[in-house]
Amino acid sequence: MSYGLSRRITAMLAIAGLAFFLLAAGTCELLGSTDRDGPAFKDIAYGGDARNRMDIYKPPGAGPFPAIIYVHGGGWWNGDKQYLAANARDYMLSKGVAVVAINYRNLVEAKRDRIFPPVLAALEDTKSAYGYLLKNGGSLGIDNTRLAIYGASAGGFNALWLALSINEDGSLQAIKAVGGIDAQTTIDPFEMRDWVGPSINYGGHAFGLPEADFQSFLAQRDKFLNYISTLSPSYLVRANSPPIVLLYSGGLQDQSSDHMALVHSPKFGAEFQKTAERNGHAVTLLEGAERIPARYSDFFNFLIDRVVK
């Protein structure tokens, strides 16, 4: 395994799990019922690809239960539904909420399938998993009228894209709330540079370019603009979008120029919040969670409250 890949996987695991282990140490409420027997349903096929699989964890009882979908991170290069943090899962279960963790095709598999832009494979798979729950949730003990979705890093981008997209008939997705943890909220290189700063070096890989060559991505922006306008959450948020909560480990006052810190910068959240407000929508932003661990439970309570009503 290369150093870069190892570093990315380590960072994604930290995003998905470390914060909740820290929170569990200081917040007894987090330690609710556990699913020691594993998921109620494992590796359900929601599509034809080997990556089109989901696990469903359910609280005790007959159901049907409201559910929160988890979309893993990994920069669209890698990752797995097993990134779901056990304490986060158990907290949602303790509140009577089922948890659905999904896998989806990555960029390598998108290239194999000749999908352009490659990021569409991950996005369309996320949509397919959601559609599967809408169609089959009842037989799985899921109340498909009470669904929320969240993801970490690139998974947060997927979740935001799905929740903010319009159906072909012009209707909104029936999602009660959407959340992102350390999520990128735009795939527009101009916005990324303006929001995060000139050192940001991310996003071109979503369009088949080398990830490290941000200048090439900037130079070719016009060629990709039609895709950017339909894929970027910053272009999709509107007044009637579902409730949105964004959580960032780092704080807005942090000055780190580390690549991973920039890719997961809370400035993605702050500038997206401003964009949403201009469009008539209020976004809840929780930044600096490394210093204020209670913000992790605030994040999950935001989602839980909107599906248990």
The secondary structure of 246-280 as a DSSP string is EE-SS-TT-----HHHHHT-THHHHHHHHHHHHTT
Coil/strand/helix, residue 31: coil
Please report, in angstroms and rounded to a whole number, the separation of the first and last CA atoms in the chain.
Answer: 46
The tokens describing 74, both together, are: 């990994």
Model pLDDT for residues 105-162, shown as the tens digit of each residue:
999 999 999 999 999 999 999 999 999 999 999 999 999 999 999 999 999 999 999 9
**How many residues appear in the chain?**
309
* Model confidence at 103: pLDDT above 80: yes
Residue 300's contacts (CB-CB under 8 Å, 6 or more residues apart) are 88, 91, 92
Q: In this predicted structure, what is the pLDDT of residue 47? A: 98
H-helix or E-strand containing 284?
A: strand 283-286
Model pTM greater than 0.95?
no
- Whole-angstrom CA distances from 183 to 72, 250, 262, 266 are 11, 12, 11, 8
Model pLDDT for residues 222-275, shown as the tens digit of each residue:
999 999 999 999 999 999 999 999 999 999 999 888 999 999 999 999 999 999
CATH number at residue 116: 3.40.50.1820
Q: How many CB atoms lie within 10 A of CB 44?
A: 18
Q: Into how many domains does the chain fold?
A: 1
Model pLDDT for residues 6-37, shown as the tens digit of each residue:
334 434 444 444 444 444 433 323 323 334 55
Range of the domain at 169: 3-308
Cα 150 from Cα 168, distance rounded (Å): 23
* Model confidence at 182: pLDDT above 80: yes
Q: In this predicted structure, what is the pLDDT of residue 170? A: 72
Cα 119 from Cα 192, distance rounded (Å): 17
